[in-house]
């Protein structure tokens, strides 16, 4: 997979219990492609609170200690709302490859949020690939992103 993100930095990833299994598979995919991964949890199917994992992922991206982030929960909404509380974070909730692409092209998103209960695993993996390989178009979109 080609990437527009710096492979010298890890991809920060986190999930709650609903996203745990997808997180584990996405980590395997990323490491097979040569990415370093900063796994911020959760580490089991036990019920947990999504902010406990979304905040550490967002902090790594915010502090430029991660190239990008991936967050996974049941609906994707909780992790997305949490991450977007951080300065400079543009977390995007995506459920199609096209939305993952547009979140990068038009919004320069730096965290992909995946709703595990609403997309199949292969789609989650394809969205991750699209997200990491799609460049920001800049131009008229840059002015809008700067207003965020």
pLDDT for 100 equals: 98
pLDDT for 139 equals: 86
Stretches in the chain below the pLDDT threshold 70: 1-2
The pLDDT > 90 percentage for the chain reads 89
> Is 34 buried (19+), middle (13-18) or exposed (0-12) by CB count in 10 A?
exposed
Catalytic residues, by residue number, are 73, 106
Q: Are 69 and 38 in contact (CB under 8 A)?
A: no
Would you state the structure tokens that stand for residue 4, as one six-digit string? Answer: 């527009």
Q: Are 124 and 72 in contact (CB under 8 A)?
A: yes
The reported pTM is 0.96
The tally of CA atoms less than 13 A away on the side-chain side of residue 100 is 22
- Give the pLDDT confidence of 21-40 residue by residue, as tens digits: 999 999 999 999 999 999 99
Q: Does domain 11-146 have CATH number 2.40.160.40?
A: no
- State the DSSP H helix or E strand holding residue 133, giving kind and residue range, or none if neither: helix 121-133
- Give the pLDDT confidence of 96-117 residue by residue, as tens digits: 999 999 999 999 999 999 999 9
pLDDT for 79 equals: 98
Three-class DSSP category at 130: helix
Beta-carbon neighbour count of residue 5 at 10 Å? 17
pLDDT for 2 equals: 67
């Amino acid at each position: 997979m080609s990437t527009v993100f710096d492979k010298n930095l890890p991809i920060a990833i986190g999930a709650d219990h609903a996203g745990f299994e997808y997180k584990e598979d996405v980590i395997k995919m990323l490491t097979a492609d040569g990415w370093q991964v900063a796994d911020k949890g959760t580490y089991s199917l036990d019920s947990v609170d999504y902010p406990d994992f979304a905040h550490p992922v967002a902090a790594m991206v915010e502090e430029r200690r991660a190239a990008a982030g991936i967050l996974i929960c049941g609906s994707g909404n909780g992790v997305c709302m949490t991450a977007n509380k951080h300065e400079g974070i543009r977390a995007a909730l995506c459920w199609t490859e096209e939305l993952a692409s547009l979140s990068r092209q038009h919004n320069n998103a730096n965290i992909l949020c995946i709703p595990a209960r609403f997309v199949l695993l292969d789609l989650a993996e394809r969205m991750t690939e699209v997200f990491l390989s799609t460049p920001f178009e800049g131009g008229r979109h840059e002015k809008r992103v700067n207003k965020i």
